[in-house]
């Protein structure tokens, strides 16, 4: 890939000026911005602004939009786009069939040799054993990789092909043109890399047209499906030859590899999957030949594109897909059952009064009025649905819903073991054992109020997850989240405005795509050259362990075992507050007592005496801090940080805005006890500048004043919920009055940010809002569905 970049026709000029034909980096970035964000007429208007006529102000070297576009078109490009006109014998179309595409084999060669992925690629199947159990992660760790490898010559390398496609309008305004964009990536690239659309591990290879035939309406769908397969045949013809006979490709280190390209996955939704598999799942009035096909559950597509692709079987490569099969299935069916059983008003109320956490979606107006949701919204509803419906619907009903949500969370594990797969199978089995409660509650109704059965295609697909994971690895590497994002970046944003006629669209489309490809390649070239030999040497370094930068290392505050990082703003929100100020602003009447107890405990444990007087000391105070953890599944992966708030009472939050956390407190006997507590204050004692007094080590890091909860039931006591139940912990003050139990702990004692859901009972209380729910309710469920990492932790280590 680097050789091709350096072999461009303008390579000599770029040895003098790296940004040729642009004068420097600034002019290149200006030109790129104009081409990506403005229409051609707007570029012309911009270049004619009188702002450029000012003295001592340099004009860009390109003076017209044609000049700029010619320069962009002269940049190097590897896999040019083209248009092919196709004919469909025996049938006429309203408009000519024009396929916009490029050779998929060339795109795969570019991906395989891309130096940006050099440290994130796997070339051989492997078996990972952890604690005497096999782990299923990426494709190369699964059974199918070994099975296919056995058929290849000694020393050959697999380049597993992963496809993605979906029907979408490629223009956003009126007369929107619909097409089937097709994307490709390779299974050699680590799933955590190719699952992020911004890292360019997915490449678009075709825009398959959706045309209208001049035939009866009943024939339209079958002819369009046959046309789609015919186009796929053309785009992937060379990849299919390479899958059978092999070919040679350079890897990122410039070594030539003998590779084979089996198709292992095609990411799509259910309607498109039925079209790909050439099967029929619907019965309706059809022509005679389609009726014959549908009698044996076929669609009438006689030449599917995968028919001559070695090792390709739709039973395998149409892998279970989490976004559509799990999340959208939940919104289409289980969520509707809950609405029927609980009622829209009560369900909305319970979601509206839940406490707001930073980084988590809060449904201010409820969830029943939302018709279209993103995958993020589906996940956020699942996160709290089990605890939210507790107490209002039958236990067996809740158990069925809990089993489904368990299944969805387990299916999203980035790493699986035989034990987790057994839990996955058991969760689905539990749902089928308790689903009769849904029927008894009369919640299983269709649009017309008619009772329906459980013959749901997506529900049946869940049974295949266990086998798919063993064959292909974790399902998250085949999630449609990334392809749904690609539809926006490669379609709706790439062609945002159009008044083109259908005849002109393909030519304009090819022009834009080639220009976009050239700019991306040139950006990569400048990235490689600007970093000099250090980056190139790092790319070609051999036998080096892959290291991942830990952003937590620059934060300054780490837990004792260096598994948790904490960050506070450099400048406190309150500087040098007195104990009286803290009691007044935060309404913490026992702050002095709690701090005194902490100093006594810590001095006994460490032997360091403190000169700090809690009644007259001064304190810096913060309103929030960030908490960051390692992944519970892959310790080398750093999870996104979580914000923990501790705001004082205000007009918007009359009782304060304070988050809850899980802390480990070490007692005098050395034993560690887990507590759930609400963070009321984040502070640090200070000494006056110039003072000779020094604070002991246990006062050097920020401290927290927290109020505790106590556990009143375990998950075994409520098997339908499988959650801990907590209530506020109270004690008596020195005057014998009942008050909340509070204490001072170190910030490094915090291990997780947790979420509490109120125990609503039969109905949510009146007059409670999301700003007051944690203070108004006394009992809560410890939600173990906060995220996949917390689910894993609370299901094993914590319990």
Contact at 8 Å (CB) between 500 and 166? no
Which are the contacts of 225, defined by CB distance < 8 A and separation ≥ 6? 275, 278, 299, 300, 301
Q: Please compute the mean of the pLDDT values over residues 261-281 and round it to a whole number.
A: 88
Residue 545 is predicted with a pLDDT of 36
* DSSP secondary structure letter of residue 213: B
One-character DSSP codes across 276-319: HHTB--------HHHHHHHHTTB-S--S-TTTTSTT--HHHHS-
- For residue 165, report the phi and psi dihedrals to the nearest 5 degrees: -155, 160
Q: What is the mean pLDDT of residues 100-120?
A: 91
Cα distance between residue 747 and residue 665, in whole Å: 11
Q: What is the mean pLDDT of the chain?
A: 83
Residues in the chain: 799
Closest by CA to 475, choosing from 400, 384, 409, is: 409
Q: What is the mean pLDDT of residues 431-438?
A: 92
User: In the predicted model, what is the mean pLDDT of residues 739-766?
Assistant: 90
Whether residue 771 is predicted with pLDDT greater than 70 in this model: the reply is yes
Report the relative pairing of strands 574-577 and 203-209 from DSSP bridges. unpaired
| pLDDT band, very low/low/confident/very high, at 558 (cuts 50, 70, 90) | low
The predicted pLDDT at position 541 comes to 41
Which range has the worst mean pLDDT, 71-80, 328-337, 531-540? Answer: 531-540
DSSP 3-state of 347 = helix
Is residue 40 very low, low, confident or very high in pLDDT (cuts 50, 70, 90)? confident
Mean pLDDT along residues 82-92: 85
Residue 173: pLDDT band (50, 70, 90) is: very low
Does 234 or 568 have the greater pLDDT score? 234
Q: Which residues does 286 contact at the CB level (< 8 Å), separation at least 6?
A: 218, 294
59's tokens: 């004009």
Q: Which pLDDT value is given to residue 447?
A: 56
> What's the rounded mean pLDDT across residues 407-418?
91
Chain-centroid distance of CA 23 in Å reads 40
Average pLDDT over residues 174-201: 83
Domains of the chain, residue spans? 22-73, 82-321+479-515, 322-463, 551-798
Q: Quick one: average pLDDT of 279-294?
A: 59
Q: Look at residue 309 in the predicted model and tell me its pLDDT.
A: 94
- Higher per-residue pLDDT: 68 or 629: 68
* The pLDDT value given to residue 171: 59
Give percent of the chain above pLDDT 90: 33
Of 371-380, 419-428, 490-499, 599-608, minimum mean pLDDT range = 490-499
pLDDT higher than threshold 70 for residue 266: yes
Confidence of residue 561 (pLDDT cuts 50, 70, 90): low
Return the pLDDT at 453: 74
d(CA 74, CA 80): 12
Q: Which long-range contacts (CB under 8 A, 24 or more apart) does 772-779 make?
A: 772/653, 772/654, 772/655, 773/353, 773/354, 773/355, 774/355, 774/655, 774/658, 774/660, 774/678, 775/655, 775/656, 778/727, 778/728, 779/712, 779/725, 779/726, 779/727
Q: pLDDT by residue (tens digit) across 439-495?
A: 888 887 655 555 567 888 889 999 999 999 999 999 989 988 888 888 887 776 666
Buried b / exposed e along 593-603 (16+ C-beta atoms within 10 A)? ebbbebbebbe
Mean pLDDT to the nearest integer, 751-757: 90
pLDDT of res. 552: 38
How far apart are alpha carbons 331 and 327 in whole angstroms? 7
Q: What is the pLDDT of residue 544?
A: 36
pLDDT the model gives residue 500: 46
pLDDT of residue 708: 93
Indicate if the pLDDT at residue 533 is higher than 70.
Answer: no
Q: What is the three-class DSSP state of 706?
A: strand
pLDDT digits (tens, 9 = 90+) for 215-232: 887 788 888 899 999 999
pLDDT for the residue numbered 199:
83
- Phi, psi (degrees; rounded to nearest 5) at 326: -105, -65
Structure confidence at residue 633 as a pLDDT band (50, 70, 90): confident
- Residue 448: the pLDDT is 53
> Across residues 578-603, what is the average pLDDT?
88
State mean pLDDT over 521-535.
67
Residue percentage of the chain with pLDDT more than 70: 87
Phi, psi of 755 (to 5 degrees): -125, 130
- pLDDT tens digits, 327-340: 889 988 999 999 98
pLDDT of residue 745 exceeding 70, the answer is yes
């Amino acid at each position: 890939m680097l050789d091709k970049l350096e072999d461009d026709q303008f390579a000599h000029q770029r040895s003098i000026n790296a940004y040729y034909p642009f004068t420097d980096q600034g002019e290149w970035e200006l030109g790129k911005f104009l081409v990506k964000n403005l229409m051609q007429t707007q570029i012309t208007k911009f270049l004619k602004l009188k702002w450029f006529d000012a003295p001592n102000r340099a004009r860009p070297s390109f003076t017209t939009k044609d000049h700029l576009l010619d320069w962009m078109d002269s940049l190097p490009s590897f896999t040019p786009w083209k248009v092919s006109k196709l004919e469909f014998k025996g049938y006429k179309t309203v408009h000519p069939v024009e396929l916009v595409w490029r050779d998929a084999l060339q795109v795969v060669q570019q991906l395989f040799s891309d130096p940006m992925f050099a440290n994130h690629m796997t070339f051989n199947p492997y078996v990972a054993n952890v604690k005497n159990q096999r782990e299923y992660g990426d494709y190369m760790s699964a059974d199918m990789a070994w099975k296919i490898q056995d058929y290849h010559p000694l020393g050959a390398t697999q380049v597993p092909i992963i496809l993605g496609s979906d029907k979408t309008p490629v223009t956003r305004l009126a007369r929107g043109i619909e097409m089937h964009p097709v994307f490709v990536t390779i299974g050699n690239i680590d799933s955590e890399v190719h699952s992020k659309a911004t890292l360019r591990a997915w490449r678009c290879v075709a825009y398959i047209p959706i045309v209208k035939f001049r035939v009866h309406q009943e024939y339209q769908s079958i002819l369009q499906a046959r046309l789609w397969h015919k186009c796929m045949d053309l785009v992937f013809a060379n990849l299919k030859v390479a899958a059978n006979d092999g070919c040679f490709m350079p890897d990122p280190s410039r070594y030539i590899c003998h590779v084979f390209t089996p198709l292992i996955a095609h990411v799509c939704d259910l309607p498109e999957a039925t079209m790909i598999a050439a099967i029929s799942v619907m019965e309706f009035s059809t022509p005679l030949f389609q009726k014959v096909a549908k009698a044996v559950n076929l669609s009438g597509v006689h030449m599917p594109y995968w028919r001559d692709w070695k090792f390709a079987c739709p039973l395998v490569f149409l892998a279970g897909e989490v976004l559509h099969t799990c999340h959208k299935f939940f919104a289409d069916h289980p969520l509707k059952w809950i609405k029927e059983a609980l009622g829209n008003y009560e369900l909305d109320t319970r979601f509206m009064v839940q406490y707001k956490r930073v980084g988590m979606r809060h449904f201010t107006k409820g969830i029943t009025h939302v018709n279209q949701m993103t995958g993020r919204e589906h996940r956020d509803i699942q996160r709290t649905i089990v605890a939210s419906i507790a107490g209002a619907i039958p236990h067996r009903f809740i158990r069925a819903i809990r089993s489904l949500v368990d299944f969805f969370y387990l299916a999203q594990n980035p790493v699986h073991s035989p034990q987790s797969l057994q839990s996955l199978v058991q969760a689905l089995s539990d749902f089928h054992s308790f689903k009769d409660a849904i029927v008894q509650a009369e919640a299983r109704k269709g649009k017309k109020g008619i009772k329906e059965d459980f013959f749901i295609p997506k529900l049946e697909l869940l049974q295949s997850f266990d086998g798919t994971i063993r064959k292909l690895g974790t399902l998250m590497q085949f999630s449609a989240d990334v392809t749904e994002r690609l539809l926006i970046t490669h379609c709706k944003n790439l062609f945002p405005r159009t008044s083109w006629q259908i005849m002109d669209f393909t030519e304009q489309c090819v022009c834009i795509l080639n220009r976009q490809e050239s700019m991306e390649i040139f950006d990569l070239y400048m990235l490689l050259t600007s970093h000099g030999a250090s980056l190139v040497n790092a790319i070609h370094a051999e036998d080096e362990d892959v290291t991942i930068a830990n952003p937590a290392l620059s934060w300054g505050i780490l837990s004792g075992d260096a598994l948790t990082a904490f960050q506070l703003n450099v400048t406190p929100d309150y500087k040098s507050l007195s104990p009286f100020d803290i009691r007044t602003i935060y309404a913490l009447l026992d702050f002095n007592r709690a701090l005194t107890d902490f100093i006594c405990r810590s001095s006994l444990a460490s032997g360091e005496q403190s000169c700090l007087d809690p009644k007259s000391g001064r304190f810096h105070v913060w309103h929030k801090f960030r908490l960051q953890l390692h992944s519970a599944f892959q310790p080398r992966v750093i999870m996104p940080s979580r914000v923990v708030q501790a705001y004082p009472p205000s007009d918007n939050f009359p009782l304060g805005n304070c988050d809850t956390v899980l802390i480990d407190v070490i007692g005098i006997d050395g034993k560690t006890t887990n507590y759930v507590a609400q963070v009321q204050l984040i502070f640090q004692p200070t000494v006056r500048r110039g003072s000779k007094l020094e604070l002991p080590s246990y006062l050097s890091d920020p401290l927290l004043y927290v109020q505790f909860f106590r556990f009143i039931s375990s998950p075994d006591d409520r098997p339908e919920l499988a959650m801990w139940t907590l209530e506020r912990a109270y004690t008596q003050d020195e005057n014998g009055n009942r008050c909340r139990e509070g204490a001072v702990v170190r910030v490094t004692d915090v291990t997780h940010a947790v979420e509490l859901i109120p125990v609503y009972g039969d109905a949510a209380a009146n007059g409670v809002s999301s700003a007051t729910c944690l203070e108004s309710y006394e009992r809560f469920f410890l939600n173990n569905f906060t995220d996949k990492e917390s689910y894993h932790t609370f299901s094993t280590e914590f319990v």
